[in-house]
Structure 1
Amino acid sequence: MALPLLNYTPKSQNVRVAGYEVPGDEQPYIFDTENLPSGGGMEEVIWAAYRQIYSEHQILKSNRQSALESQLKDGRITVRQFIRGLLLSDPFRRRNFDANSNYRFAELCVQRVLGRDVYSEREKIAWSIVIVNEGVQGFVDKLLGSDEYLENFGDTIVPFQRRRNLPQRERGETPFNLKTPRYGAYHRDLLGFPQIVWQNAIRRFRPQEKQPVEGNPERFLGMARSMAPQQNPVPRVSLQTLNYLSAVPRR
């Protein structure tokens, strides 16, 4: 018997504040199949879905799902079904699910599917339980079938990061597909990165009571290291100036 979804309390993020949007250039462009522009509008919808679901380094020609694109263009599937196909595709599973823990994968999918950050660690635990009990397909179906997804995106709108612009910041929130690394913190520690490379010399602070006083040999250590020892140069004699006949003794 599958366990029910663990309850978690939503916190008051900016995505939950009604009437918050302020028109401007930083607002995300909404790709909706019901209001497509003339020309290659469907191509823009497809690439918007790739940018939202895949990260920037995963948008490769080999990762494209040609069958899903053809079905979307013919009207046989909706945008929500196209998003579902991308989440269940083999490239997305290999590069995101297989390379992370369930907690990290749940956080990543909530960001890219629901367009917001996770509320708390409890929400990540709740969705990770769904992954264990129902697998990746059951987890994706619950995300796409949730009331939050249907109210904000429905069947025709490509998911996007909601409420990116924050008044208390100059540049707002960083897009999820740029700020979220491929590996979680646990796997990054195992792999040993990111590694800190010091570009300049480290200056260590020493309290005044611990500084060396007069007569302490430590005060002369730097001076001794800076003095290069003088060596006696070895004279070089040219072979052309040597007189071998004069050096031979006479008999």
Structure 2
Amino acid sequence: MKYKRVLLKLSGEALMGSQNYGIDPKRLKEYANEIKDVVSQGLQLAIVIGGGNIFRGVSGAATGMDRVQADHMGMLATVINSLALQSALENEGIFTRCMSAIEMNKIAEPFIRRRAIRHLEKGRVVIFAGGTGNPYFTTDTAATLRAIEIDAEAILKGTRVDGIYSADPEKDANAKKFDALSFKEVYEKGLNVMDMTAFTLSHENNLPIIVFDMNKPGNLRKVIFGENIGTIVKN
């Protein structure tokens, strides 16, 4: 394997599958199988998942809801998704731990950095829920922060698109796919990879970001073994 320890960032929308909202059990099982494949190879894997399939804080604030309240609701949505993914992984025989930035001891462990690293060293998949625990920060930022804290070698951003393009490939047939980019090039081209806080944090800490299509079977394994799929952003 090219990597020993990585953080996988998934969007909440990815769990919808073909549905308009909520969680698709079929998609959960597909992801669990992909994750099982790489963990069985000895990969130390942490996961952060968004909550956009249930509630998005920014959207709530746009309708007049208090932004802090809306973001707290979004954080709880990430906990729901994390528990769903944990259940799917455990159904495949994978040992997991769910650690929440918001303390809720009945259903998840509190996030403690050294404990999280120890779980990874023991071969457990660690799911970080609750974002950063603070409003005004996205799960992209939470993923980057946790990746840095656990000394991950890369952030793998699993999406429904097979990399970073010069424009939205679903809207522009002439959009060009990039195989590799520097952080500087992403800034200069104004490309949308992660929110700016998360992206800057990755840049400053020399943490590569790999954007790839998580919905294509076998792609996660290919990334772990260093195959040239998706787009890598690095210094």
Tell me the TM-score range normalised by the shorter chain.
under 0.3
Structure number with higher helix proportion: 1
Greater percentage in strand: 2
- Give the greater-gyration-radius structure (CA): 1
Q: TM-score, normalised by structure 1?
A: 0.26
TM-score (normalised: structure 2) = 0.28
Higher RCO (CA < 8 A, seq sep 6+): 1
